[in-house]
Amino acid sequence: MSTLPRKLGLFSAVAVLVGSTIGSGIFRSPAGIAARIPDEFLFFLAWIIGGVCVLAGALTYAELASALPHTGGVFVYLKEGFGPLPAFLFGWAELTIVRASALGAIATVFAEYLLRMLGMGLSRDAVHYVAAASILLVAAFNIAGVGISALIQNMTATAKYLALLALVAVSFIFRNTPAAAVAATSGTSISSFGLALISILWVYDGWADVTFVSGEVKRPERYLAQALIIGTSAVVAIYLLTNLAYAHVFSMSQISRSELVAADVASQLVGSAGVTLVSLAVMISAFGTLNGSMMTGPRIFFAMAENGLFFKKIAAVHPRFRTPHVAIGLAALLASIFVMFRNFEQLADAFVLGIWPFYAGGVAAVYSLRRKSPGLPRPYRVPGYPVTPAVFLAAAILLLANALLAERMALLVFGIIATGIPVFWIWHRGVRDV
C-alpha cells in the first residue's frame, strides 16, 4: 500500500515507541497519583495494573501490525476491521483535534523548560512563540528525511531512558536508608483509585505511535511486533523503577506534595546541580517526544489520502527526501496555530479525549478481523486471545466513562468528532479526487 521506503530498523522502531511515550509525565504525574492513592502498596499496584493494560494493547496491536504492516497503523486496522467510516473519523479526529493538540502540548513543555534553562521569563507570548518555532524546526527535520528524524529519535530516546536509569541508580546509591513510611491520612476509595489509574494510562500514552510508521519499518512481519512488545515492556519497566526510586527517597505524603518530583528527588540527592540535570532531561525528553509525534502523526493524513479519504495531494512523496512532506507540513501548520491560542492543559486534555476511543476501536478490530478474515496471514498472534484485548478495552471504557462524567471538554471533543460523519458522506459525493 505505502509508497514510502522502508528504512526503519528494529532499534529505530523501538526508539519511536519509547521516545513517543516517555515525555514529561513520569517526571511530574506521580505527585497527583500519590495524592489520590496515599497507600504505597496500592500506589504501585495501580502502576502495575496500568502497565498490564497497555501491554495488553501492545500485544494486540502486534498481531494487527504484523498482519497489516501499512502506513497509518490504527487507521488501517479500523478500515479493515469496521469499514471506511470509523477510519475516516479517526483521521478526522487527528486532523481537527488530536495531532495539533499533541504537538502543541509537547512543544509547550519543551518551550517552558528551554526558557527556564536559559534563565528567561516564562511569559505566555514567549512560550507560544518558542513552541511554534520548535514545531516548525522538527517538521523541517522530518521533511528532510526519515533517516534524520530516526537519528534524532534514537538519540533522544536513548538519552531520556538513560537519564531515568541514572536517577534510579543515584537514588539507591546515595540514599542508603529508605524514606520512613508514613501512615496514610485517609483511605483510598475505589473512585480515587480509578481516577489515579486513568492518570497512569495517560502517562503511558504513545505506545501505539509506532504503528503509524508501519509502512516504513523493515521486515515488518517481524520487527513491528518485536518493537511493540520490547518498547512497551521497556517503558513499563522504567516507570516502575523510577517510582521505586521516588518512594525510596521520599515518603508517599512527600511525593504527593512534589509537583516536580524528579527534580525534588535530584535536589535532595545531589543539590542544585541535580535540578539542572533533571530540567535538561525533561527538555530532551519533550523534544524527543515532539519529534516522535511529528514522525508518526502525519502518516495518518498520508494514509487517508492514499485510501481516497482525503485530498490526493496530501499523499505526495517528496521526490528527493522520500518523505510525506505535504502531510508533515499540514500537521506542523495546524499545530503552530493551535499552540498560539491554547495552553498546555487545554491541548493535553483535547488530545487524550480525542485519541482513546480510536485506540479502543483499533484493539476491537482484532475480533472483527479474526471473524471476517480468518485466512489473513498473521506472523504473530496475540497470546491469551480473546481475554488479552478485552483487558485493554475495559481500561479504555473506564477512561472514557470517567472523562464523560468529569471533563467538561469531553462533550465538545466528541461533538467535533461526530461532525466527521456528515463530512464523510459529503466527501463521497464528489470532492475526493481533488
DSSP string, 60-121: HHHHHHHHS--TTTHHHHHHHHH-HHHHHHHHHHIIIIIHHHHHHHHHHHHHHHHHHHTT--
Domain coverage including residue 377? 11-426
Domain-embedded: residue 162 = yes
**pLDDT confidence of residue 245:** 94
CB 83 within 8 A of CB 364: no
Q: How many CB atoms lie within 10 A of CB 346?
A: 15
Residue with cell 516522535: 292
Tell me the Cα Rg of the chain. 21
Is residue 4 assigned to a domain? no
Residue 217 φ/ψ, nearest 5 degrees? -95, 130
Residue 232 CA: distances (Å) to CA of 139, 155, 176, 391: 26, 18, 30, 16
157 inside domain: yes
Residue 180 lies in a domain: yes
pLDDT tens for the 434 residues of the chain, in order: 447 889 999 999 999 999 999 987 888 789 889 998 999 999 999 999 999 999 999 999 999 999 999 999 999 999 999 999 999 999 999 999 999 998 998 898 888 888 877 877 668 889 999 999 999 999 999 999 888 889 999 999 999 999 999 999 999 888 655 555 554 455 677 778 877 887 888 789 889 999 999 999 999 999 999 999 999 999 999 999 999 999 999 999 999 988 778 888 988 888 888 888 888 888 888 899 999 999 999 999 999 999 888 999 999 999 999 999 999 999 999 999 999 988 877 787 788 788 889 999 999 999 999 999 999 999 999 999 999 999 999 988 887 887 777 667 778 889 999 999 999 998 877 655 44
22 Cβ contact list (under 8 Å, min separation 6) = 157, 160, 161, 164, 206, 235, 238, 285, 288, 289
CB 290 within 8 A of CB 81: no
The pLDDT of residue 1 is 45
CA distances 210 to 17, 170, 191, 411, Å, are 5, 31, 33, 29
Name the grid cell of 426: 459529503
Question: Is the residue at 55 inside a domain?
Answer: yes
Give exposure, 153-162, as e/b (b: 16+ Cβ within 10 Å): bbebbebbbe
Helices then strands, each counted (H, E), the chain: 19, 0
Q: What is the CATH number of the domain that holds 144?
A: 1.20.1740.10
The total number of structural domains in the chain stands at 1
| CA dist., res. 73 & res. 60, Å (int) | 12
Is this model's pTM higher than 0.85 or not? Answer: yes
**How far apart are alpha carbons 273 and 317 in whole angstroms?**
46
The answer to the question of residue 399 being in a domain is: yes
Rounded Cα–Cα distance for residues 208 and 58 (Å): 7
Nearest of 12, 33, 15, 9 to residue 257 by alpha carbon:
33
Establish if 356 belongs to a structural domain.
Answer: yes
pLDDT score at 29: 84
Does residue 433 belong to any structural domain of this protein? no
Rounded Cα distance between 138 and 193, Å, is: 38
